[in-house]
Chain A
Amino acid sequence: MDSALLIHRLHFAFTVTFHYLFPQLTMGLAPLIIWLKSLALRNQDETYNQAARFWARIFGINFVLGVITGIPLEFEFGTNWSHFSAFAGGVIGQTLAMEGVFAFFLESAFLGLFLYGEKRLSPKMHWWSSVAVFVGSWLSGFFIVATDAWMQHPVGYLRTPDGSFQLTSFLQLLLNRWAWWQYAHNMSGAVITGAFVMASIGAFYLLSQQHQEHGRIFVKTGIISGLIFSILQLFPTGDRQGKMVADHQPATLAGMEALFIGQPGAPLVLIGQPDMDKRRIDNPIVIPRALSFLTYRRWEANVAGLDAFPEQDWPSNIPLLYYCYHIMVGLGTVFIAIMSIAVLLLWRRKLFTSRWMLWILLLSLPFPYIANTAGWFTAEIGRQPWLVYGLLRTSEGYSKMVSAGNGMFTLLGFMGMYTLLGILFLFLVRREIEHGPAASPDAGH
């Protein structure tokens, strides 16, 4: 691979992966904060208000990091991927610009009000400001997913003789079937992160015997929403997402499963390592014919393998794709198990005394982040070698004028900058957790 191409890919991959650590929590927390505020409003219970304020502070820190790390991404389309931008900007620029105009303005305007305006607003108005923040952050998510969905499954465009894409149907761009299922799957994944983080912090308070009243609220809210969305993540959203990949990106599906040879009654590999030299899976543990059933609902259905496609159209890194996909699915299954047991214990009124379960909840904090990241890796590595699926190759899209050395310089710069940001972030969040939910609402400005 051309080293400039590799560096520009790493540049975007690194900055977008780091960025998405923050929005997945803010998008996931937003509905949970509304829920807490609704309970406070209905029960006139100050404890719920304190809980909502605590998570609003965590939200605020994450939001700032999300904004700071998000701005470079819009720039990078032009700086690092200029040929792609010149070709496709007329289409994907629509959704990216709509994010700025419809989502960011709303979010930035009302977040300030939500975080610092509680004293100036009536409780009802303050509740509405939390709804506005939720709508802003979820709209933002939609426009980004719609942009990616067009790259995965281009619709509503025409190609001019010079190779650039022009929009012919705005509605098709927004109503892209791929976009809606991907959006549902992605947002449900974000709520899982929010739910696990909330439950984990709650478990921490209960185990360390401080802020116990708030801790119980956090754990309860976290596990109930966590169970609901872990199930939605598998079915229907994940299932439909997989079906779309099978329909429109069969080579990607073969790569995700590392199915080198197509066959009727294809097995589902649970564990095993793809061996690119011998074109097989080493040490496989399989469920016979399950892949055919899951994909086409028929045990004997034929699933196309990589052998059906010319090698230049294979996903360019099959082992990485395979591992990411299997990590995502494996973790998703574990999440359902953890949350089911926790909810069962809650129902039997044993949860808050089951130290082992609280420990599991506490330690599960990093895993939804890993699952969400692995999921996005599956989508983006699965799309390779295409930038716009079937139409524009990744190798045609990067900035030919920006040399590998310049790209490397700024990539290293971002790595340094983000290391610093990460340390600062952990430091500030740790302080908020240490202060606890009962602290005064007016930390900050």
Chain B
Amino acid sequence: METLWFILVAAMLTAYVVLDGFDLGAGIIYLIAARLEGERRAVLRAIGPVWDGNEVWLLATGGVLYFAFPLLYASSFSGFYLPLMMVLWLLMLRAIGIEFRAHIPNLVWRNFFDAVFAFSSTLLAIFFGAALGNVIRGVPLGPDGYFFEPLWTSWHMGPHPGILDWYTVLAGTVALAALTVHGALYVAIKTEGDVSQRARGIAITVWPILFFLTVSSLAATCYVRRGITNNYRAHPIALLIPIVVFGALAMVIWAARQSKDKLAFLACGLYIAGMLAGAAFALYPMVLPAVDPAYSLTIYNTATGHHGLIVGLTWSILGMALAIAYFFFIYRMFKGKVQVEEEVS
């Protein structure tokens, strides 16, 4: 039962990263890919109807994590107190940037909110990558299952790690590069003309960086956590995951070069999902490794009681089915490319 919940939470988190990832990515490339007012509006209209729904996956994942593994939620959220508060502020700024820029046709007002949107999207991508880096590297959990991590300490591995050190910053840049490509491909699909071409160009330019960062982050992970490959040694079939990751990555550049944007975008989503699945598989059954392995949080010492897990599973499957149905409906309603308007203001 706990294992099933581990898979469900990991799947929901993956859905969040893949979905909200493309609108974060659209924000990262926004100022470069879209230069004229009409182009910027086109990019915003491409994500306008869906970004809020994508972000709900974060809330839903948080909620499910909360009742399935209460101690994990409590420990990680209070331990990552400062960076999470910054994430909240960035999410707020980003929502303001998207939703409120259109209300006033004034160049300064719009440029300001454009910059807010791009800036917060970029930082969020780095933060989410660094957060994942922290989870993989391990945190200084005490015997009671709690910790508090400062923003940074010595930037080295050791008994007193900070949120930021060389490894987590590396993870942050991987996330930034991955979401840049992901978002660029989405914009390439949903727009036309110059914006679409510029976006595809960005994806092709960033791809070698992403490839290099992916390889070095995998190597760094094996160095930082020596036991990380244990699950893979026990179940060699799982080596399919890295094969899928690199296969998808190759597919991205191949399809993007031929302007097959949809294929490239799907491949990029598969790449991101593969990276997350690979990390989840390596961690299992740990959910928050500790610097001192004896204090690590696992699915077994953090899960709630049996009844809660059973009823939760029942309604969450129903709820997910409904959510997916809405998504298909909405994406169908807003399918097709958004037009780049002539300059009006």
A residues adjacent to B (C-beta < 8 A): 64, 67-69, 71-72, 74-75, 77-80, 82-94, 96-102, 104-106, 108-113, 116-117, 120, 158, 160, 164, 166-170, 399-402, 406, 410, 413, 417, 421, 424, 428, 431, 443-445
The 6 closest A-B pairs by CB, nearest first: A93-B67, A78-B77, A89-B70, A97-B63, A90-B304, A166-B305
B48 adjacent to A68 (CB under 8 Å):
no
- Which B residues, 37 to 82, have Cβ-Cβ distances below 8 Å to chain A? 41, 44-45, 48-50, 52-53, 55-56, 58-60, 62-64, 66-68, 70-71, 73-82
Across-interface contacts of A112 in B (CB, < 8 A): 48-50, 52-53, 330, 334
B75 adjacent to A82 (CB under 8 Å):
yes
* B91 contacts the other chain (CB 8 A): yes
Across-interface contacts of B66 in A (CB, < 8 A): 74, 77-78, 85, 89, 93, 96-97
* B100 contacts the other chain (CB 8 A): yes
* B208 contacts the other chain (CB 8 A): no
A113 adjacent to B311 (CB under 8 Å):
no
B70 adjacent to A100 (CB under 8 Å):
no
Across-interface contacts of A102 in B (CB, < 8 A): 315, 319, 322
Give Cα A85 to B302, complex, Å: 12
A120 adjacent to B333 (CB under 8 Å):
yes
Q: Can you report 22 residue pairs joining A to B where beta carbons are below 8 Å apart?
A: A75-B77, A77-B73, A78-B66, A96-B63, A97-B316, A100-B59, A101-B315, A101-B323, A106-B322, A109-B326, A112-B50, A116-B49, A117-B333, A164-B304, A166-B305, A166-B307, A167-B308, A170-B308, A401-B78, A401-B147, A421-B96, A424-B96
Give Cα A92 to B68, complex, Å: 11
- Which B residues, 164 to 212, have Cβ-Cβ distances below 8 Å to chain A? none
B308 adjacent to A79 (CB under 8 Å):
no
Across-interface contacts of B254 in A (CB, < 8 A): none
Known interface pairs A112-B50, A406-B82; A85-B89 also in contact (CB < 8 Å)? no
Interface of B is mostly: helix
B48 adjacent to A67 (CB under 8 Å):
no
Give Cα A112 to B331, complex, Å: 11
A89 adjacent to B326 (CB under 8 Å):
no
Would you give the shortest CB distance from B218 to chain A, in whole angstroms?
30
Across-interface contacts of A67 in B (CB, < 8 A): 52, 95
Give the size category of B's interface with A: 35 or more
Known interface pairs A82-B74, A166-B307, A445-B41; A64-B99 also in contact (CB < 8 Å)? yes
Give Cα A111 to B76, complex, Å: 33
Across-interface contacts of A64 in B (CB, < 8 A): 95, 99-100
Would you give the shortest CB distance from A248 to chain B, in whole angstroms?
24
Across-interface contacts of B88 in A (CB, < 8 A): 71-72, 75
Give Cα A84 to B71, complex, Å: 10
Known interface pairs A90-B67, A109-B326, A421-B92; A79-B60 also in contact (CB < 8 Å)? no
Would you give the shortest CB distance from A403 to chain B, in whole angstroms?
8
* B103 contacts the other chain (CB 8 A): yes
Known interface pairs A90-B308, A100-B60, A445-B48; A105-B326 also in contact (CB < 8 Å)? yes
B311 adjacent to A167 (CB under 8 Å):
yes
Would you give the shortest CB distance from A355 to chain B, in whole angstroms?
32
User: Which residue of chain A has its CB nearest to the CB of B101?
Assistant: A445
Give Cα A347 to B73, complex, Å: 57
* B155 contacts the other chain (CB 8 A): no
* B327 contacts the other chain (CB 8 A): yes
A78 adjacent to B311 (CB under 8 Å):
no
Cβ-neighbour of A106 out of B78, B81, B307, B326 (below 8 A)? B326
A93 adjacent to B63 (CB under 8 Å):
yes
Q: 14 new A-B pairs (CB below 8 Å) besides A71-B92, A89-B70, A101-B319?
A: A71-B91, A78-B77, A78-B84, A79-B81, A85-B73, A93-B63, A94-B67, A94-B308, A101-B316, A105-B53, A399-B81, A421-B96, A445-B41, A445-B102
Across-interface contacts of B320 in A (CB, < 8 A): 101
Residue among A84, A109, A444 facing the most chain B CB atoms (10 A cut-off)? A109
User: Which residue of chain B has its CB nearest to the CB of A97?
Assistant: B63
Across-interface contacts of A97 in B (CB, < 8 A): 60, 63-64, 66-67, 312, 316
* B234 contacts the other chain (CB 8 A): no
User: Which residue of chain B has its CB nearest to the CB of A105?
Assistant: B323
User: Which residue of chain A has its CB nearest to the CB of B327?
Assistant: A109
* B232 contacts the other chain (CB 8 A): no
Would you give the shortest CB distance from B308 to chain A, in whole angstroms?
4
Across-interface contacts of B100 in A (CB, < 8 A): 64, 424, 428
Across-interface contacts of B157 in A (CB, < 8 A): none
Interface string of B284-312 (1 = CB under 8 A from A): 00000000000000000000110110011
Across-interface contacts of A167 in B (CB, < 8 A): 304-305, 307-308, 311
Would you give the shortest CB distance from B72 to chain A, in whole angstroms?
9
Would you give the shortest CB distance from B58 to chain A, in whole angstroms?
8
Cβ-neighbour of B63 out of A90, A99, A417, A445 (below 8 A)? A99
User: Which residue of chain A has its CB nearest to the CB of B67?
Assistant: A93
Across-interface contacts of A72 in B (CB, < 8 A): 88
B103 adjacent to A443 (CB under 8 Å):
yes
* B108 contacts the other chain (CB 8 A): no
